[in-house]
C-alpha cells in the first residue's frame, strides 16, 4: 500500500537524540535536495509572520486609524469609513460613506475619484475577444485612491510612518510577495513515496474511479461567471436544490458569502487580491470536485487569465471544469438590480463596480452560455442539469455510452459473442461438451442475454440471482468490486457463507431468465469431467457454451406465484413454465455466432450496442422507446411525435424515437411479427406526409428480441430496463402494459383483465433499480373528422371526434374495409365498412387487411423462430418450410424412402444393413417416414393439436432412423402379447458424428432392445455406421461398452423416459439386456419377411394395405 513520508524541515531534523532515523541513511541525498527546494518557501513564511507582527503593532490595528480588510469574494472593490460595516457586492463608496451588502467587512479611509468614467474596448492583438469594460484613469487631483494594481497602498493619518525602525507596511507589495512565495513553493509539501517525483499525489489516495463509483457520481466544477445580478447564486441554488433533493447527489456551492467570511476575508479588491481570491476558490473547488462533490462556484471573477488558471488546475488533475457565462446586457442588469447597486452606481454613490467602471473580461469559449434574461430560472437550471447528465457526471461509473445516453445497467457493455479469432477453437470445444437442449423460446432468452438486453446478466440465472429477482424484482451488483462482490451473480450460489458487506448497487431485473432441463440432462452434466455444456437448439445446432453450470430444482409453483401473482393454469406463459424440466441450469454463456433467424427480418435485428451506435450517428441527446405488439396507427404516431416535441421543450435538441417491436415468443392470437414489422416499415417510408407516419431521420426501428410473458406490472419493469440498457432514457407506457385477459381457468378474472390497467404504470414509476429512467404515459386520442388527424379530443367539440378501438380496427380489417371519404366520415364505420383515411398509412393498412383476411395462412411469422436447413443429404430434395407440417423430404434416386431402398448395401459384411437417417444427431424435431403419403417422404410428426412435434427430454446423443423394407407387423406378438408398432424397424446409430437427414448409410448391427411403448412392441436396433472412426473396433455390445462406457445405460434411460417430459408415463423394456447381433439380425429378417407379405411378395398373407402407400416399384408398383 502507498504511504506518506514527511519531508524534514531541516537537515538537522532527527539529530541530537543519539540515534538516526530509520530512513535517514537511505534518504540523505534526497533530504538535502528537499531542503534546498523548500527553503525559499520557508523564507516567505518568515516574511509573512513578520508582516503580521508589524501590522499588529501599527496604529490602525491599535485603533489609531482605519485598516483595509477586503471581502475578496467576487472581485468588486469595497471601501468604507471607520468602524465595521457591510459593503455591497462589487462596490466602493465615495467620500468615505458606508454601503451595505451581504456580510462583507471593510474598514478604510481611502476614497476613489468621483469623476472616473467608463470605456469599453478590445485589447490590441486579441481577435474574436469579447469587449472588456474598463474604467478610465482616476482624476489627477483626486485625494487618496485605492489602486487596483497589484500593489496595495495603505494610507494613514500622517504622511510619514513612525515605524521605530520596523518595516513600513506601506512599502510591502503583498501581491508580489504572495506570487514569489507561490513560485518558490514546491508542488508537494508532503510527498507520497509511491508517486514519482513532481507528479500527482493520487497514488496515495483512493482512486477517483473507485471513489466516484462508491458515491455514484463524479466530481466536477461549474464555474459561473458574469456581472453582479446576472443570476449566479439564484441558478446555482436551483440546481443544487434539484440535484440534492431529487437525485441525492453531493453538491456544494462556493460564493462570496461563504468565502469572504473565512478563507478570503484577508483579501482586498486589488487586482492581485482578486486574482488570489479566484485562485483560492479554484483550489478549494478542485479539492471538492476531486473528492466527488459537484461544486458550484458563483463568482464574478472578472479576469479571464485568472479563470483560465483555475481551468488548467482542473485539467491537470483530470477533473471536469465547466465555465458558465451568464451573459446579460448591462441595461438588463440595471433594470433587474435586485440589490439596488446599479442605481447607486448611477447616482455616483458607488465606484469601481465591475462591469460599470471596473473591467470584466467575458469568456471566449465557455462550455455553456446562459442568457438568463431570456430564460426562466428552472430553464437555466435544466440546461446545466442536462449537461451534467449528458456527460455522465451524475453517474459514478465511467461514461461508456454516447453523450446524453445512459450507461447500461451495471455500467458494463454486455456482448457475449465469441471473438472471431477464437470461434473455431470454441466451436471445436463445444462439440466435445455435454449437450443441453434449448427450445426456440430459450433461444430468444439466450439472444436477450448474449446481446446485452438484460445487462449486467451474463448467463442464465443461478439460484441466488433467481431468488433476488423473484423477491425483489432486482439484483445487487458490484461492478467495481467495492465490497469484493464483483462476481456475486456469476458464482455458484452459496447458502452457507456470506460476504461481510452487501453489493452496493441495486439493478432492476424483474423477470426470471432461466433454462430448464430434465434429470437426463442433469445426469449428463454431473457425470461429465467438463465444467461447461454446449447449448443446442431443437434443430441440433450448437449455438453457445455455458460455463460452470449450476443445476438446482425448478420450483415452478414458486416462480409462477411470485412472477405473476395470479392463478391461471390456462395462462400461455405459465403453461410454458410448467412444461419445463424439473431442474434449472444457471451459468455464464458464450455465443458461438450471432443468432440469426433467416426469416427475412434479420435486418431489423440489432444488438444493444449496434442500436446505441445508431443513436449516436443520429446525434441523439436523448432516446425515448415505444414498444409495439400491434400495427402502428395515427394515434400511436401522434403520441410518439408529441413526446418528441415535449422533450424538445424540456431542453433537448435532438430526441430520437426508438420504435421497438417485440420479437420473441408471443401467444397464438397476437399479431405476427412480420405483419407488425412490415407495417412499421411503411410507417417510416411515408415520413411526415401522412398523419400516421414517422420521421425516419429521428426514428430508429429495431426488433427487441425478448419473449412476451404477460406478467403485467412485473414484466413492464423489464421492458423499460432492457431499453435503458441500449440507450433509452424515456419509455412510453400505456394502460395495462404487458397484461392480458385471463383464460377461462383463471381463479379471479376469467376472460377479464388479469391486472388493473393503472397498476403497471404506477409500479414502473416506483420500481427499485429503475434509476433515472422516466416514463411517458399514453393519453387518450381520438379521430378528428374535421381534419382527419388523430389527436387529444377537444372537450368543447366532442361530436367531432370518433373512437377507433383495437377490436373495431381488427373487425374492419377482417372485413377488408376501404378508405372513407375524407369529407364524409360515417358515424358507424363497421356498417359503412370503411376506415378514415388519416387513421393509418394506406400501404400499412393493406398489410393489416391482408393478415386478417388470411389469418389462418401458414405464411405468417408469429415470432422469432429460426428457419434452418434440415441438413439433408445432397441426394434428397425438400419442399415446404422445415420446422412446419408442410415440409417433405424425398429421395432423388428412389421413388419411395421405404420400399425402394434395399435392405442391405450392394456389397459388404453380413451384419450390415442400410440405415436411413430420419433424425440427425442432436436434433429433437421428430422426423419420420410417412407410410401413407405417396413416395413415403420424411416429414415432421405432429402433436394432437397439429403443432410440430419435438423431443423435450433432452438432446439425443445418437442418429435415429429406420431400416428400409422392414415392417413391425401388429399381428406379430411377443411373449407378453404385445404386437408390432406398425412402422419400419427403428434404429439408433451410436457413432460420434451427425449423419445427414435422408442419407443411406451402411451400418453394422450390434444388437437390439425391445421397447414396450403404450402396449406396442417397438424394437430398437443398435448399430454403428461403417464410416464412423470407432467402427473398426466396435462389433458387438461388449465392444461398445469398452469404447464408450455407459452408452447402453443412457440408451435405456432415454427409451424408458423420453416421453415423461411431455407428461406421459414411462415406457418399459421387455428385457434389460441388449440382445446379440445375431438375434438382432434374426429380428431384421423377420420384419423384412413381414414387409414382403405387406407388398404381396412374401410367402405369408397380410390382410389389406393398412392405409399405407404401397405403389412404389419396390413394393406393389410396376
| Pairing status of strand 583-591 against strand 542-553 | antiparallel
Per-residue pLDDT tens for 499-554? 889 999 999 999 999 999 999 999 999 999 999 999 999 999 999 999 999 999 99
Considering only CA atoms, which of 784, 775, 681 is closest in space to residue 728?
A: 775
Cell numbers standing for residue 954: 433432452
Q: What pLDDT, on a 0 to 100 scale, did the predictor assign at position 1011?
A: 93
Q: Residues with Cβ < 8 Å from 808, sequence gap 6 or more?
A: 829, 830
CA angle 50, 56, 61 (to 5 degrees): 145
- pLDDT exceeds 60 at position 710: yes
Q: What pLDDT, on a 0 to 100 scale, did the predictor assign at position 772?
A: 84
Give the pLDDT band of residue 48 (cuts 50, 70, 90). Answer: low
> Reduced to 3 states, what is the DSSP secondary structure of residue 123?
coil
What's the chain's length in residues? 1118
Cell numbers standing for residue 50: 513578520
Considering only CA atoms, which of 923, 917, 921 is closest in space to residue 938?
A: 917
Per-residue pLDDT tens for 766-785? 998 888 899 998 888 999 99
Q: What pLDDT, on a 0 to 100 scale, did the predictor assign at position 115?
A: 35
- pLDDT exceeds 80 at position 89: no
From 15-24, 251-260, 429-438, 626-635, the region with the lowest mean pLDDT: 15-24
Q: What pLDDT, on a 0 to 100 scale, did the predictor assign at position 870?
A: 93
Q: How far apart are CA 549 and CA 529, in angstroms?
A: 12
Considering only CA atoms, which of 539, 533, 549 is closest in space to residue 592?
A: 533
DSSP secondary-structure letter at 731?
E
Cell numbers standing for residue 981: 408398432
Give the pLDDT band of residue 82 (cuts 50, 70, 90). Answer: very low
- pLDDT exceeds 50 at position 289: yes
- pLDDT exceeds 60 at position 477: yes
Q: How far apart are CA 271 and CA 285, in angstroms?
A: 21
Q: Identify which has the larger pLDDT, 140 or 941.
A: 941
Per-residue pLDDT tens for 1005-1034? 999 999 998 888 999 999 999 999 999 999
- pLDDT exceeds 50 at position 90: no
Q: What pLDDT, on a 0 to 100 scale, did the predictor assign at position 725?
A: 93
Q: What pLDDT, on a 0 to 100 scale, did the predictor assign at position 202?
A: 64
Q: Identify which has the larger pLDDT, 15 or 810.
A: 810
Q: What pLDDT, on a 0 to 100 scale, did the predictor assign at position 125?
A: 39
Q: How far apart are CA 155 and CA 1082, in angstroms?
A: 128
Residue labelled with grid coordinates 396507427: 633
Q: What pLDDT, on a 0 to 100 scale, did the predictor assign at position 615?
A: 96
Find the radius of gyration of the CA atoms of the chain: 42
From 118-122, 632-636, 782-786, 1000-1004, the region with the lowest mean pLDDT: 118-122
Q: Residues with Cβ < 8 Å from 593, sequence gap 6 or more?
A: 417, 418, 423, 543
Q: What pLDDT, on a 0 to 100 scale, did the predictor assign at position 663?
A: 96
Q: What pLDDT, on a 0 to 100 scale, did the predictor assign at position 122?
A: 37
> Reduced to 3 states, what is the DSSP secondary structure of residue 729?
coil
Give the pLDDT band of residue 45 (cuts 50, 70, 90). Answer: low
Q: How far apart are CA 368 and CA 321, in angstroms?
A: 11
Overall average pLDDT of the 722-741 stretch: 91
Q: What pLDDT, on a 0 to 100 scale, did the predictor assign at position 194?
A: 57
From 66-80, 355-369, 793-807, the region with the lowest mean pLDDT: 66-80
Per-residue pLDDT tens for 1-44? 333 333 333 333 343 444 444 444 444 545 545 544 555 555 55
Q: How far apart are CA 1022 and CA 18, in angstroms?
A: 94
Considering only CA atoms, which of 807, 842, 493 is closest in space to residue 633?
A: 842
Per-residue pLDDT tens for 170-185? 777 877 888 888 777 7
Q: What pLDDT, on a 0 to 100 scale, did the predictor assign at position 770?
A: 84
Give the pLDDT band of residue 344 (cuts 50, 70, 90). Answer: very high
Give the pLDDT band of residue 267 (cuts 50, 70, 90). Answer: confident
- pLDDT exceeds 90 at position 65: no
- pLDDT exceeds 70 at position 58: no
Per-residue pLDDT tens for 852-880? 999 999 899 999 999 999 999 999 999 99
Q: What pLDDT, on a 0 to 100 scale, did the predictor assign at position 109?
A: 32
Considering only CA atoms, which of 360, 364, 357, 382 is closest in space to residue 372?
A: 382
Q: What pLDDT, on a 0 to 100 scale, did the predictor assign at position 196?
A: 57
From 642-651, 717-726, 1101-1110, the region with the lowest mean pLDDT: 1101-1110
Question: pLDDT over 70 for what percent of the chain?
Answer: 83
Overall average pLDDT of the 321-344 stretch: 93
Q: What pLDDT, on a 0 to 100 scale, did the predictor assign at position 200?
A: 59
Per-residue pLDDT tens for 606-648? 999 999 999 999 999 999 999 988 999 999 999 999 999 999 9
Q: What pLDDT, on a 0 to 100 scale, did the predictor assign at position 1068?
A: 93
Q: What pLDDT, on a 0 to 100 scale, did the predictor assign at position 197?
A: 52
Q: What is the largest CA-CA distance in the chain?
A: 147
Q: Residues with Cβ < 8 Å from 979, sequence gap 6 or more?
A: 969, 970, 971, 972, 973, 1016, 1017
Cell numbers standing for residue 580: 419445463
Q: What pLDDT, on a 0 to 100 scale, did the predictor assign at position 1013?
A: 87
Overall average pLDDT of the 1032-1047 stretch: 96
Please provide the average confidence, as pLDDT, over all residues in the chain. Answer: 85
Amino acid at each position: 500500500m502507498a504511504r506518506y513520508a514527511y519531508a524534514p524541515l531541516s537537515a538537522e531534523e532527527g539529530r541530537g537524540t543519539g540515534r538516526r532515523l530509520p530512513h535517514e541513511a537511505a534518504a540523505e541525498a534526497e533530504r538535502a535536495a528537499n531542503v534546498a527546494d523548500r527553503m525559499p518557501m520557508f523564507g516567505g513564511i518568515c516574511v509573512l509572520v513578520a508582516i503580521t507582527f508589524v501590522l499588529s503593532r501599527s496604529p490602525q490595528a491599535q485603533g489609531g486609524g482605519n485598516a483595509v480588510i477586503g471581502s475578496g469574494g467576487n472581485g468588486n472593490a469595497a471601501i468604507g469609513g471607520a468602524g465595521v460595516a457591510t459593503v455591497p457586492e462589487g462596490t466602493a463608496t465615495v467620500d468615505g460613506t458606508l454601503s451595505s451588502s451581504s456580510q462583507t467587512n471593510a474598514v478604510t479611509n481611502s476614497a476613489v475619484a468621483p469623476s472616473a468614467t467608463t470605456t469599453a474596448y478590445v485589447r490590441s492583438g486579441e481577435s474574436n475577444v469579447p469587449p472588456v469594460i474598463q474604467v478610465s484613469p482616476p482624476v489627477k487631483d483626486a485625494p487618496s485612491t485605492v489602486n487596483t494594481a497589484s500593489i496595495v497602498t495603505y494610507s494613514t493619518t500622517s504622511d510619514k510612518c513612525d515605524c521605530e525602525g520596523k518595516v513600513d507596511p506601506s512599502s510591502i507589495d503583498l501581491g508580489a510577495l504572495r506570487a514569489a512565495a507561490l513560485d518558490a513553493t514546491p508542488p508537494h509539501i508532503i510527498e507520497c513515496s509511491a508517486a514519482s517525483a513532481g507528479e500527482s499525489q493520487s497514488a496515495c489516495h483512493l482512486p477517483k474511479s473507485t471513489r466516484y463509483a462508491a458515491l455514484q457520481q463524479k466530481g466536477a466544477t461549474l464555474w459561473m461567471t458574469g456581472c453582479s445580478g446576472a443570476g449566479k447564486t439564484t441558478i446555482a441554488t436551483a440546481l443544487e436544490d434539484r440535484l440534492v433533493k431529487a437525485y441525492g447527489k453531493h453538491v456544494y456551492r462556493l460564493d462570496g458569502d461563504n468565502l469572504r467570511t473565512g478563507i478570503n476575508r484577508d483579501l482586498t479588491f486589488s487586482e492581485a487580491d482578486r486574482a488570489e481570491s479566484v485562485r483560492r476558490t479554484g483550489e478549494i473547488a478542485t479539492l471538492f470536485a476531486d473528492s466527488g462533490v459537484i461544486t458550484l462556484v458563483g463568482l464574478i471573477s472578472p479576469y479571464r487569465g485568472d479563470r483560465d488558471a483555475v481551468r488548467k488546475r482542473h485539467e491537470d488533475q483530470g477533473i471536469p471544469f465547466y465555465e458558465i457565462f451568464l451573459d446579460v446586457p448591462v441595461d438588463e442588469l440595471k433594470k433587474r438590480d435586485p440589490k439596488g447597486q446599479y442605481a447607486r452606481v448611477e447616482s455616483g454613490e458607488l465606484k469601481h463596480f465591475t462591469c460599470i467602471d471596473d473591467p470584466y473580461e467575458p469568456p471566449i469559449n465557455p462550455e455553456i452560455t446562459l442568457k438568463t434574461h431570456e430564460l426562466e430560472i428552472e430553464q437555466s437550471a435544466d440546461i446545466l442539469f442536462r449537461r451534467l447528465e449528458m456527460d455522465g457526471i451524475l453517474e459514478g461509473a465511467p461514461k461508456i455510452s454516447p453523450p446524453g445516453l445512459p450507461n447500461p445497467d451495471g455500467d458494463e457493455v454486455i456482448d457475449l459473442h465469441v471473438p472471431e479469432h477464437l470461434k473455431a477453437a470454441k466451436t471445436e470445444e463445444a462439440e466435445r461438451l455435454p449437450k443441453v437442449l434449448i427450445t426456440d423460446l430459450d433461444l430468444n432468452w439466450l439472444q436477450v442475454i448474449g446481446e446485452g438486453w438484460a445487462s449486467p446478466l451474463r448467463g442464465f440465472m443461478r439460484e441466488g440471482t433467481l431468488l433476488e429477482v423473484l423477491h425483489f424484482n432486482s439484483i445487487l451488483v458490484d461492478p467495481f468490486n467495492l465490497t469484493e462482490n464483483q462476481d456475486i451473480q456469476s458464482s455458484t450460489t452459496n447458502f452457507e457463507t456470506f460476504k461481510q458487506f452487501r453489493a452496493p448497487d441495486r439493478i432492476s431485473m424483474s423477470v426470471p431468465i432461466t433454462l430448464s432441463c430434465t434429470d437426463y440432462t442433469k445426469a449428463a452434466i454431473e457425470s461429465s469431467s467438463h465444467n461447461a455444456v454446449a447449448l443446442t437448439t431443437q434443430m441440433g445446432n450448437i449455438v453457445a457454451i455455458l460455463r460452470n453450470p449450476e443445476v438446482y430444482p425448478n420450483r415452478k409453483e414458486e416462480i409462477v406465484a411470485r412472477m405473476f401473482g395470479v392463478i391461471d393454469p390456462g395462462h400461455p406463459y405459465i403453461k410454458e413454465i410448467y412444461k419445463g424440466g424439473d431442474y434449472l441450469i444457471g451459468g455464464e454463456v458464450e455465443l458461438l455466432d450471432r443468432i440469426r433467424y433467416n426469416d427475412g427480418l434479420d435486418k431489423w435485428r440489432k444488438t444493444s450496442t449496434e442500436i446505441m451506435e445508431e443513436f449516436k450517428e443520429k446525434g441523439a441527446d436523448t432516446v425515448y422507446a415505444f414498444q409495439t405488439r400491434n400495427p402502428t396507427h395515427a394515434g400511436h404516431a401522434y403520441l410518439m411525435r408529441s413526446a418528441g416535441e415535449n422533450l424538445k421543450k424540456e431542453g433537448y435538441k435532438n430526441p430520437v424515437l426508438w420504435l421497438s417491436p417485440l420479437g420473441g415468443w408471443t401467444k397464438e392470437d397476437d399479431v405476427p411479427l412480420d405483419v407488425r414489422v412490415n407495417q412499421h416499415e411503411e410507417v417510416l417510408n411515408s415520413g411526415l406526409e401522412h398523419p400516421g407516419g414517422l420521421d425516419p431521420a429521428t426514428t430508429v426501428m429495431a426488433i427487441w428480441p425478448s419473449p412476451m410473458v404477460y406478467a403485467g406490472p412485473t414484466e413492464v419493469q423489464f421492458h423499460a430496463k432492457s431499453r435503458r440498457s441500449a440507450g433509452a432514457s424515456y419509455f412510453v407506457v400505456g394502460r395495462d402494459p404487458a397484461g392480458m385477459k385471463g383464460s377461462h381457468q383463471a381463479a379471479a378474472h376469467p376472460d377479464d383483465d388479469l391486472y388493473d390497467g393503472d397498476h403497471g404504470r404506477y409500479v414502473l414509476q416506483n420500481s427499485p433499480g429503475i434509476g433515472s429512467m422516466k416514463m411517458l404515459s399514453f393519453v387518450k386520442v381520438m379521430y378528428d373528422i374535421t381534419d382527419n388527424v388523430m389527436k387529444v379530443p377537444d372537450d368543447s367539440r366532442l361530436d367531432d371526434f370518433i373512437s377507433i378501438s383495437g377490436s373495431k380496427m381488427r373487425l374492419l380489417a377482417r372485413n377488408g374495409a376501404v378508405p372513407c371519404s375524407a369529407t364524409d366520415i360515417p358515424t358507424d364505420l363497421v356498417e359503412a365498412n370503411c376506415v378514415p383515411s388519416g387513421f393509418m398509412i394506406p400501404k400499412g393498412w393493406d398489410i393489416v387487411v391482408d393478415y386478417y383476411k388470411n389469418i389462418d395462412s401458414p405464411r405468417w411469422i408469429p415470432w422469432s423462430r429460426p428457419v434452418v436447413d434440415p441438413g439433408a443429404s445432397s441426394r434428397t430434395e425438400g419442399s415446404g418450410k422445415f420446422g412446419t407440417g408442410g415440409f417433405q423430404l424425398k429421395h432423388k434416386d428412389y421413388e419411395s424412402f421405404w420400399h425402394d431402398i434395399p435392405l442391405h448395401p450392394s456389397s459388404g459384411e453380413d451384419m450390415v444393413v442400410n440405415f436411413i437417417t430420419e433424425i440427425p444427431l442432436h436434433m429433437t424435431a421428430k422426423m419420420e417416414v410417412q407410410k401413407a403419403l405417396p413416395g413415403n417422404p420424411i416429414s415432421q410428426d405432429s402433436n394432437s393439436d397439429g403443432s410440430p412435434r419435438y423431443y423435450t427430454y433432452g438432446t439425443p446423443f445418437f442418429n435415429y432412423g429406420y431400416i428400409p423394407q422392414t415392417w413391425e407387423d401388429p399381428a406379430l406378438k411377443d411373449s407378453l402379447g404385445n404386437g408390432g408398432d406398425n412402422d419400419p424397424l427403428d434404429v439408433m446409430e451410436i457413432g460420434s458424428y451427425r449423419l445427414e437427414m435422408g442419407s443411406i448409410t451402411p451400418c453394422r448391427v450390434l444388437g437390439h432392445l425391445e421397447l414396450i411403448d403404450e402396449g406396442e412392441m417397438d424394437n430398437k436396433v443398435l448399430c454403428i455406421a461403417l464410416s464412423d472412426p470407432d467402427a473398426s473396433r466396435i462389433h458387438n455390445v461388449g465392444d461398445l461398452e469398452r469404447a464408450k462406457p455407459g452408452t447402453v445405460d443412457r440408451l435405456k434411460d432415454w427409451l424408458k423416459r423420453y416421453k415423461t417430459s411431455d407428461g406421459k408415463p414411462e415406457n418399459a423394456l421387455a428385457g434389460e439386456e441388449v440382445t446379440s447381433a445375431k438375434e438382432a439380425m434374426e429380428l431384421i429378417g423377420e420384419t423384412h419377411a413381414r414387409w414382403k407379405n405387406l407388398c404381396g411378395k412374401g410367402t405369408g398373407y397380410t390382410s389389406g394395405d393398412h392405409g399405407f402407400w404401397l405403389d412404389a416399384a419396390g413394393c406393389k408398383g410396376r
